[in-house]
């Protein structure tokens, strides 16, 4: 019974979400705030009802793109909540665009209200259900049978991982490996011998155990022998999951693509959702514009102080490397003497940072006003212009200079695989108190774990970090 219920539960969520969206849209459409805006004057009740139905259906299509209706057996509560939050936010933006295009005089907050209502109700219903199912699975019910291809160290690791997560409800029905059968004297099974089958015996195993998934955790030497097994699984509809550490632990997560008619696995440095990146860019545009407007009085007042304190231009422009190493001109408020760049070479022996970065706590080139600007990060405010232009983002690795990039070694250059930003983990993690290796580690962590929620958390944590001037020089 639980097995059948689990297969249908996501369909139930889908139908429930459509009904919920229609109900919330109708409630908002007939609310006094909407009516007072003359939003209903152009449409009949039938038209409003049709709009509600179309909104309900299209809203769930957007949520589906964020994998809200897929199995959450191996998904955490935070991951599910993030998917719901982002999906509803994007759907709200789409609804706002449609209403604007149609000329509906609706309150600006109506789509956001709908998204907030959807998110709260979805989390309030899904999370308890998710936790209840995990309790049931821990008791040994509602399980899924898994066949592991391989019987060596990688299979052992897969087995241990499944054992450590009883809430997943996975049971290993058997292992497929021909290593000990083909006369390989070096083969030592690292899993229960009585559960190891020949790969040719997959057909009978699929019938006997009602296998739900085949997990490939074998060495590369077995790949050529797996073709019949994979074809068999595809023929009868059993999902095949391949652990991508098959090609080494250093590769980034793969992305499925095509090469003409051939399916591919692309191991690009990062695989971020394009829709989420569009949202990130939209936030950057709004944030860049607001930053320039809000901080323009501070920039103007600071510019006057700079002119009084020392001769030279107010702004300092420097070539930096952005996304994939593309060069752009970054703008800052000048904090150093006019010929600071020419004096840098003479100070290189005093560098207090390891790696290709130059930092000096008591830099003699810094002006009196510049010391205050640097400590409070006021000199960075003009970079909102770079954010607005698209050279930078609000959140991302700091943009290096070309001479620094020239000295990059190993995976350090991978930090250029994402648009540089005003703040990141390095800003809230110590800034100049960090070593270069720690700095790079934080940047790569940001790239590998990027999400819009992480950006929001970093922005919120940046405020006390800047006000406290931690690690500033």
140 has a pLDDT exceeding 90: no
Domains annotated on the chain, with CATH: 2-138 (no CATH), 144-251 (3.40.50.720), 274-468 (no CATH)
Calpha distance 118→20 (Å, rounded): 7
Q: Give the whole-number percent of the chain exceeding pLDDT 70.
A: 84
pLDDT the model gives residue 433: 67
Residues ≥6 apart with Cβ < 8 Å to 336 = 316, 363, 365, 366, 367, 370
Mean pLDDT of the chain: 81
The burial of 437, by beta-carbon neighbours within 10 Å (0-12 exposed, 13-18 middle, 19 or more buried), is given as exposed
Number of other CB atoms surrounding residue 160 within 10 Å: 10
Kindly report, residue by residue over 141-170, the tens digit of the pLDDT.
Answer: 888 889 898 888 888 888 999 999 999 989
410 has a pLDDT exceeding 70: yes
pLDDT the model gives residue 128: 92
Under the banding of pLDDT at 50, 70 and 90, the label for residue 2 is very low
Is the pTM of the predicted complex or chain greater than 0.75? no
User: What token pair was written down for 352?
Assistant: 């207090």
pLDDT the model gives residue 472: 52
Calpha distance 380→330 (Å, rounded): 10
Q: Give the whole-number percent of the chain exceeding pLDDT 90.
A: 21
Question: Which candidate, 267, 278, 291, places its Cα nearest to that of 381?
Answer: 291
- CA quadruple 183, 184, 188, 190: dihedral, nearest 10: -90
Under the banding of pLDDT at 50, 70 and 90, the label for residue 277 is confident
Q: Which of 122-126, 286-290, 294-298, 461-465 has the lowest mean pLDDT?
A: 461-465
Kindly report, residue by residue over 347-401, the tens digit of the pLDDT.
Answer: 766 666 666 766 667 777 888 888 888 888 899 999 999 999 999 999 999 999 9
37 has a pLDDT exceeding 60: no
User: What token pair was written down for 225?
Assistant: 């022998």
Cα–Cα distance list, 387 to 168, 283, 394 (Å): 42, 10, 7
48 has a pLDDT exceeding 70: yes
Residues ≥6 apart with Cβ < 8 Å to 230 = 214, 240
Calpha distance 76→296 (Å, rounded): 43
Q: Which of 34-38, 68-72, 302-306 has the lowest mean pLDDT?
A: 34-38
pLDDT top residue among 423 and 463: 423
How many whole angstroms from its chain centre is CA 451? Answer: 3
Please give the average per-residue pLDDT across 130-142, as a whole number.
Answer: 87
User: What token pair was written down for 41?
Assistant: 């004057």
177 has a pLDDT exceeding 80: yes
Question: Which candidate, 193, 205, 191, 143, places its Cα nearest to that of 168?
Answer: 143
Kindly report, residue by residue over 181-196, the tens digit of the pLDDT.
Answer: 444 445 557 788 878 8
Residue with tokens 């907030």: 116
pLDDT the model gives residue 337: 82
pLDDT top residue among 246 and 387: 387
């Amino acid at each position: 019974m639980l097995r059948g219920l689990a297969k249908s539960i996501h369909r139930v969520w889908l139908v429930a979400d459509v009904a919920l969206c229609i109900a919330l849209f109708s409630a908002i459409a007939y609310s006094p705030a909407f009516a007072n805006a003359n939003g209903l004057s152009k449409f009949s009740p039938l038209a409003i009802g049709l709009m509600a139905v179309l909104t309900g259906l299209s809203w769930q299509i957007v949520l589906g793109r964020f994998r809200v209706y897929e199995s959450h057996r191996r998904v955490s509560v935070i991951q599910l909540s993030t998917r719901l939050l982002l999906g509803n936010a994007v759907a709200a933006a789409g609804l706002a665009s449609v209403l604007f295009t149609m000329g509906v005089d609706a309150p600006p907050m109506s789509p956001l209200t709908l998204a907030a209502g959807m998110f709260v109700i979805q989390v309030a219903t899904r999370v308890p259900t998710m936790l209840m199912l995990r309790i049931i699975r821990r008791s040994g019910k509602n399980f899924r049978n898994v066949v592991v291809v391989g019987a060596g160290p990688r299979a052992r690791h897969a087995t241990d991982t499944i054992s450590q997560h009883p809430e997943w409800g996975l049971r290993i029905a058997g292992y497929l490996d021909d290593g000990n059968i083909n006369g390989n004297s070096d083969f030592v099974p690292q899993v229960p011998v009585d559960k190891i089958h020949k790969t040719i015996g997959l057909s009978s195993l699929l019938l006997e155990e009602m296998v739900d998934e085949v997990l490939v955790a074998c060495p590369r030497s077995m790949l050529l022998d797996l073709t019949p097994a994979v074809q068999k699984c595809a023929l009868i509809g059993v999902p095949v999951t391949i652990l991508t550490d098959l090609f080494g632990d250093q590769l980034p997560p793969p992305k499925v693509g095509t090469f003409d008619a051939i399916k591919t696995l692309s191991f690009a440095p990062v695989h971020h959702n394009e829709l989420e990146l569009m949202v990130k860019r939209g936030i950057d545009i709004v944030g860049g514009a607001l930053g320039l407007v809000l901080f323009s009085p501070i920039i103007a007042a600071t510019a006057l102080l700079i002119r009084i304190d020392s001769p030279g231009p107010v702004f300092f422009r420097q070539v930096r490397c952005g996304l994939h190493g593309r060069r752009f001109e970054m703008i800052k408020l000048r904090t150093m003497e006019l010929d600071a760049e020419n004096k840098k070479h003479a100070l290189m022996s005093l560098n207090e940072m390891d790696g290709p970065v130059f930092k000096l706590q008591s830099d003699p080139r810094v002006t009196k006003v510049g010391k205050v600007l640097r400590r409070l990060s006021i000199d960075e405010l003009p970079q909102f212009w770079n954010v607005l232009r698209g050279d930078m983002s609000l959140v991302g690795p700091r943009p290096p200079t070309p001479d620094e990039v020239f000295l990059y070694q190993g995976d350090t250059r991978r930090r250029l695989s994402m648009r540089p930003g005003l703040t990141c983990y390095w800003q809230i993690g110590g800034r100049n108190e960090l070593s270069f290796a720690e700095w790079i580690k934080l940047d790569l962590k940001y790239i590998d774990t990027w999400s819009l929620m992480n950006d929001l958390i970093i922005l919120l944590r940046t405020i006390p970090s800047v006000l406290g001037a931690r690690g500033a020089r």
